[in-house]
Chain A
Amino acid sequence: MNLNYLPFEQPIAELEGKIAELQLVGSDNRLNITEEIERLREKSSKLTESIYSNLTPWQIVQVARHPQRPYTSDYITRLFTDWEELHGDRHFGDDKAIIGGIGRLDGRPVMVIGEEKGRSVHEKVARNFGMPKPEGYRKALRLMEMAERFKLPVLTLIDTPGAYPGIDSEERGISEAIAQNLAVMSRLRTPIICTVIGEGSSGGALAIGVGDHLNMLQYATYFVISPEGCANIIWKTVEKAPLAAEAMGVTSSVLEELGIVDETIPEPLGGAHRNIEAMAETLKERLIAQVDRYSAIPIDQLLEKRYERLMSYGND
């Protein structure tokens, strides 16, 4: 099994393997097998298309958690220029599960706050696998309040398995840290645009997810409890996670229907990780348009709209 591909993608992996082999043969024997390679490429692309047009919610969750999926740091390097990372909550420490800083989005100064899972084992540990502690959310709050003072639009990138469930987290008030962010974001006097880029798990995601506009990448996922957690409670086994994912409606299509997600941002064929550059380009274009659109609205009007929207959650 090719670990760069998810279980349901294995047929694609086989085809890609064949293509790679043929390419090797081709360079050795100078045989004209370009046509055959072309044919297989087309087949692989069609297969990917057909598999990806019919993904189940559980398969989407797997794509959203794909080990090669672009993370916040991958987007930061591609979307912003003049980037300066800003560290620390000024009280306790610097939580590396949340990256914050100021950059320019096609010239416009913006505040960026994103959750980061980390790529290498070493980095994953340093970033606590993207599970923020109170100091992470308080750093985010500090930066958002700074953005308010300098009238910088806030862009958040959501990608977390959840806020960290640990003793230190509880001791330092993880609940209060999340709650405080929800309260302040509801009235922050600057546009806030949130994007779920991977996994949006529960309160740990929402804590940087309240704003004027909520984007979801096509194969991102957003849930109140992980499908495994839900399955564990209801069926007493994580094996039923696919059913839980189905029942909870964890994908952008369902969430757009419920009026929670505003915009689904399409991903390259086979998911964001198959073409990070293209994904970043699409996301950048959308964000530029959104920043301009929301910056043009008078701030009191924007806040009233944000509040009305918050009040309407769950209404018919």
Chain B
Amino acid sequence: MSWLDKIVPSVVRSERRGESKVPEGLWKKCTKCDAVLYRPELEKSLDVCPKCDHHMRIGARRRLDIFLDEQGREEIASEVVPIDRLKFKDVKKYKERLASAQKTTGEKDALIAMKGTLKGIPVVVTAFEFAFHGGSMGYVVGERFTRAAQVALREKRPLICFSATGGARMQEALISLMQMAKTSAVIERLKQNGIPYISVMTDPVYGGVSASLALLGDINAAEPGARAGFAGPAIIEQTIRQKLPKGFQRSEFLLEHGAIDTIIHRREMRDRLASLVAKLMKLPG
């Protein structure tokens, strides 16, 4: 550790919301408690705030990177790229929206699928990229997920999915809706063939993804504090004309109401999922 690391604590100060500007680069503000965090420290803690334990959103690549073993990774279905079948246009062309999302994220679409090992166990993992169009599911997300599941089926590897999404992608209209049916059907095939499917919901998971692949796991898990539900809070408030209870639709609420099996801290994700998968696959402990 350098002398600088020693004198700079991970949390240097807390500030009131909106009062300060955090310089780009070395420092990052916790999106929940506003603590200003030293980036290398934060990365070591897997983007979980060392002060308040808030699990910050992370990108799909990083998710896969911190989850899989380093060796033997192989991306699946990266050749599947978006097609604008409807020539959708609102204030902007869908094509332009895609191009700008591709530019900012460096990804072709909102899901990345990978083959690899988890503590030595061969697995297939998919992760949503929330920064790409709100992680919305259109053709590419559905198709990549489906192809990943087919690899899992063929090679008898457990499938694990980290979701983070606003739901179905409006700009692909009914094609998006049908991805719900498609992904649910392939998951059902896994079930009938005894291949474990584990769904991990990370903040946030809503709409069409919640009502399909995210809640069909043999095991449904969530990160602490993640929000997940069918309808967004604003829509519900509008419908029932009252304020929602505190903690509504958070992981803890989902656990309490029986929607998920467990909440898993990001730090324990590898260990606990490896252990679960090993038991389901009857591998030695």
Contacts and interface: CB of A to CB of B under 8 A. Distances in A.
Interface in B125-140: 138-139
Interface in B226-266: 228-231, 235-236, 239-240, 244-245, 248-249, 257-259
Contacts of A187: 185, 188-189, 192
A316 B210 CA distance: 26
Interface in A111-132: none
B242 to A, nearest CB: 9
Given A224-B168, A230-B170, A311-B182, A165 B86 contact: no
A250 B188 CA distance: 29
Contacts of A250: 173
A203 to B, nearest CB: 4
A174 interface: yes
Given A206-B177, A244-B90, A314 B231 contact: no
A75 to B, nearest CB: 23
Given A223-B174, A225-B168, A167 B182 contact: no
B230 A314 contact: no
Contacts, number: 174
A313 B181 contact: yes
Interface in A190-248: 202-203, 206-207, 209-210, 222-225, 230, 233-235, 243-244, 247-248
A202 B188 CA distance: 21
Given A179-B215, A247-B86, A247-B89, A224 B185 contact: no
A220 to B, nearest CB: 13
Contacts of A209: 181
B230 A203 contact: yes
Nearest to A186: B185
A133 B191 CA distance: 26
Given A165-B235, A310-B181, A176 B215 contact: yes
B6 interface: no
B182 A260 contact: no
A233 B235 CA distance: 12
A165 B50 CA distance: 36
Contact of A258 (B175, B214, B258): B175
B184 A182 contact: yes
A98 interface: no
Interface in B205-220: 207-208, 210-216
Given A165-B236, A166-B240, A175 B211 contact: yes
A187 B185 CA distance: 8
A250 B86 CA distance: 11
A247 B188 contact: no
Contact of B142 (A165, A182, A258, A314): A314
A224 B188 CA distance: 23
Contacts of B229: 170, 175
A171 interface: yes
A115 to B, nearest CB: 16
A313 to B, nearest CB: 4
A209 B210 CA distance: 17
Interface in B65-94: 83, 85-86, 88-91
A254 B187 CA distance: 29
B174 A166 contact: no
Interface of A: 163-167, 169-176, 178-180, 182-184, 186-187, 202-203, 206-207, 209-210, 222-225, 230, 233-235, 243-244, 247-250, 254-255, 258, 260, 307, 310-311, 313-316
18 contacts: A166-B231, A170-B249, A176-B259, A179-B211, A180-B216, A182-B211, A203-B180, A206-B178, A224-B174, A248-B86, A248-B173, A260-B178, A310-B178, A310-B181, A313-B179, A314-B138, A314-B139, A314-B172
Interface of B: 83, 85-86, 88-91, 138-139, 142-143, 146, 168, 170, 172-182, 184-189, 191-192, 207-208, 210-216, 228-231, 235-236, 239-240, 244-245, 248-249, 257-259
